[in-house]
Copies of this chain bind each other. A is one copy, B any other.
Amino acid sequence: MTTSTNETQIIADSEVPLVRIIREFDAPPEKVFRAHVEPDLFVQWSGPRGYELRLDHFDCRTGGSFRYVMVGDGFEGRFRGCFHEVRPEEVIVQTFTFEGFPDGVALERIMFEDLGNGRTRLTSTSLVDSFAGRDEFLASGMDVGVREGYERLDDLLAR
C-alpha cells in the first residue's frame, strides 16, 4: 500500500503524563500542514485503515472546534475538541476527548518541522492529568490508529 520507510515513534514521557509521537514525511511542511487543517484532506487519512471519518464540524483555526464520528470494524466513536492555536505550517494546539470517556481530556500539540529537501518531521504530544490515564491511552490500541493513519497520510502526500 505504501512505499514509506519512515517509522512512527511513540514515546511515554518519564517525567510528566505525556505521550510523544514522532514521524517524518517525504513532503514539505506546507503540504503536511494542509492535510491536517483542510477537512476534505483530513478525513482521507486520519484513523486506522478501513475506518471512515464523518465530520460533524471541523473548523481548524485559532478558536475553532471539531467533532467527528469514526466508524469501522463494528466500532463507532465520537471525538471532539477545540483549537487553541493554529499557527500555519508551525503548530496546532488543540484539546481532544473521546466522548466514550467524556471527562478525559488531552491537551495536544502538533509541531511541523522543516527538515529541508521536501521533508517534514511531525512531533505530536498529548498531555493528560494522570499517569494511569496516559498508560490506559497507550494500551488502548491507539498505536495501530496512529501508525496506519500516518501510512495513509504518506499515500495522500504522494498523490
- Listed in ascending order, the chain A residues whose CB lies under 8 Å from chain B are 15-18, 62-65, 81-85, 93, 95, 97, 102, 105, 107, 109, 125, 127, 129-131
Contact = CB atoms under 8 A, between A and B. Distances in A.
A77 B59 CA distance: 27
B82 A83 contact: yes
A97 B85 contact: yes
Nearest to A18: B129
Contacts of A129: 16, 18, 107, 125, 127
A80 to B, nearest CB: 8
Contact of A82 (B17, B84, B109): B84
Contact of A95 (B18, B93, B130): B93
A105 B82 contact: no
A102 B102 CA distance: 28
A19 to B, nearest CB: 11
Contacts of A85: 97, 102, 105
Nearest to A95: B84
Given A16-B16, A16-B130, A105 B107 contact: yes
Nearest to A59: B63
A66 to B, nearest CB: 9
Contacts of A95: 82, 84, 93, 95, 107
